[in-house]
Amino acid sequence: MIEITLRIIVFTFSFLVLFYFFALNTFYLLTNIFAFTSLRRYAGRIKSIEINELLSSAGAPPITLFAPAYNEEATCVDSTRALLTLNYPDYEIMMINDGSKDGTLETMIDAYDMVPTARVPTANIETAGVKQVYRSRKNANLWLIDKENGGKADALNVGLNYCRTPLFCAMDADTLLERDALVRIVRPFLEDASTVAAGGIIRIVNGCTIENGIVTNVRLPKNFLAKFQVMEYLRAFLSGRMGWDAVNAMLIISGAFGMFRRSTVVKAGGYSTSRTAFHTVGEDMELVIRLHRYCRDNDMDYQVRFVPDPVAWTECPESLKILGRQRDRWQRGLYECLMAHRKMLLEPKYGKIGMLAYPYFFFLEMLGPAIELPGYFVLVYVIVTGMISPAFAVTFFMVAVVFGVVLSIAAVGLEELTFRRYPKFSDLLQLFGLAVIENIGYRQMTTYWRIRGFISALRGKTGWGQMERKGFSSTTSANKTDE
């Protein structure tokens, strides 16, 4: 009797795993199709619209860039130098030093001749204490706020308190923006006054050549782990977020590069911190979900968009230890954000977000790894014991592996058909090769880290975990120092 019950449980779970892979990859397929259609349409619009003419006719709204910095001594000068060369008529740079323990503050003061300057707050979101506000005597649009440590979200709220412009761009201090990134990401705000947030694409800078804070030669990383992450980012942004944008159901804007309407964010309460009712390590996603919720609750006409061509370059982890910490943190953030706003799940009031995007992230991205990883072991067990037919095993392999390979190849195809940022034919061949092999080994490893992050969230773990950063060089190789 026990053996029969066990067989039933194992057999049922095998079908559940198969259904999970089918549902997940079907969503990926649909977003790929939507992304392909949207990218073709977007490419046509880019050719027909001159950005500078649009700025001139609509007026370029002033923008403030928030760059929270914690122990960024190695990269802060280079990344700030890149920000100072951006092609935009009216913007300020506000670096917020979040109680760094290294020489970040002194490095910035020395490099840009920063002096104490009075600046009146424009909002009163509760934050850790601000020690001093500095302004550069070399670059009048460069500001530095020195504050007590409170975390990235707290630093961003300090930026909101001192921001004077209608739009702000949230980014990481170690992120490199391309020169026309602001010009391109501001477009949704110019074309539709109801836009409250827009995200750009994040690309991996490891392996690229950087000169004076600008990426001058795009190449794949030499490190194998970093190569896999290039593949992941292409799939996540070009296939994933472009697809979700096509159905007007964007739920995530990367904290490394996103633009927001300041007034709406302040009314919604700013970023979540330990001082608010809810705190998460995924403050970027939580803010976007809360903006959806705030706008829907207040019957506002609004848009949250993704723009595929404004590029922010960031360094990715190159060791298993650091990458594991990152994915653990991402999954914790996902769990915290979704559980905090679980009333939106399958709630018609919240439209496509509540009925489509939220359920996808809740069931397939948050809970899915707990089905996927055990599923591999169960599959091996039922094959070895002969509990399933060869036809079932083949079907599972096709749905779980081959389907995934095809979708990854499609993501590389979208990159090649649109932006072609990797001009070397050898890099393109490597990307197609990575699309094939990442589903065997690398994917299972990241799934394990995601389960670990899920368990960490259940246990109430907090903080980002200690990371390391090597800094930018002509051919970058990086790990990050986080709070």
pLDDT digits (tens, 9 = 90+) for 345-365: 999 999 999 999 999 999 999
Q: Is pLDDT of 53 > 80?
A: no
pLDDT band at 9 (very low <50, low <70, confident <90, very high): confident
Q: What is the pLDDT of residue 257?
A: 95
Q: What is the pLDDT of residue 464?
A: 63
- The token pair at 241 is 């977020």
Considering only CA atoms, which of 100, 253, 261, 271 is closest in space to residue 173? 100
Cβ neighbors of 47 (< 8 A, separation 6 or more) are none
Q: What is the pLDDT of residue 56?
A: 64
Query: How many Å apart are CA 150 and CA 216, to the nearest integer?
Result: 35
The percentage of residues in the chain with a pLDDT greater than 70, rounded to a whole number, is 92
Q: Is pLDDT of 149 > 80?
A: yes
Q: Contact 282/332 with Cβ under 8 angstroms?
A: yes
Q: Contact 96/145 with Cβ under 8 angstroms?
A: yes
**Any idea how long the chain is?**
483
Q: What is the mean pLDDT of residues 138-161?
A: 96
Query: How many Å apart are CA 304 and CA 452, to the nearest integer?
Result: 31
pLDDT digits (tens, 9 = 90+) for 411-454: 999 998 888 899 899 999 999 999 999 988 999 999 999 999 99
Q: What is the pLDDT of residue 416?
A: 85
Bridge-based pairing of strands 167-171 and 257-261 is antiparallel
Bridge-based pairing of strands 114-116 and 91-98 is unpaired
Q: Is pLDDT of 466 > 70?
A: no
Cα→Cα distances 198→241, 242, 336, Å:
11, 12, 22
When mean pLDDT is compared across 136-150, 234-248, 458-472, the lowest value belongs to 458-472
Query: How many Å apart are CA 400 and CA 395, to the nearest integer?
Result: 8
Q: What is the pLDDT of residue 210?
A: 87
Q: Which domains does the chain have, with CATH numbers?
A: 2-20+366-458 (no CATH), 34-364 (3.90.550.10)
Q: What is the mean pLDDT of residues 143-171?
A: 96
- The token pair at 360 is 């996808």
